[in-house]
Homo-oligomer: A and B are copies of this chain.
Amino acid sequence: MAEYMDVHRGMRGITAEQLDEAHRADLAVEREEGVHFKQAWADPDSGVVYCLSEAPSAEAVQRVHERAGHKADEIHPVPLTV
């Protein structure tokens, strides 16, 4: 398992409720892919959302996001953290 940071763009105007709903949609299906979404941060003005997860691969992260209805634009493994 490794940590991944993924980025969604084009989410301009996202509300706290929509972020919460999107996160819960990920949590509802993540286990089947061996993924866990730990945290997410959103900027409604620029429409950027960052998601931090633990997962077996970037593909598994994307599969969860796709099944939850919000494909990521970028996914990076982040093996280094401080």
Chain A interfacial positions (CB closer than 8 Å to B) = 3, 5, 14-16, 19-20, 23, 39-46, 48, 50, 52, 76-82
Contacts and interface: CB of A to CB of B under 8 A. Distances in A.
Contacts of A82: 16, 19-20, 23, 39-40
B44 A80 contact: yes
Contacts of A23: 82
12 contacts: A16-B80, A16-B82, A19-B81, A20-B82, A23-B82, A39-B81, A40-B81, A41-B80, A41-B81, A43-B76, A44-B80, A50-B50
B78 A43 contact: yes
Contacts of A19: 80-82
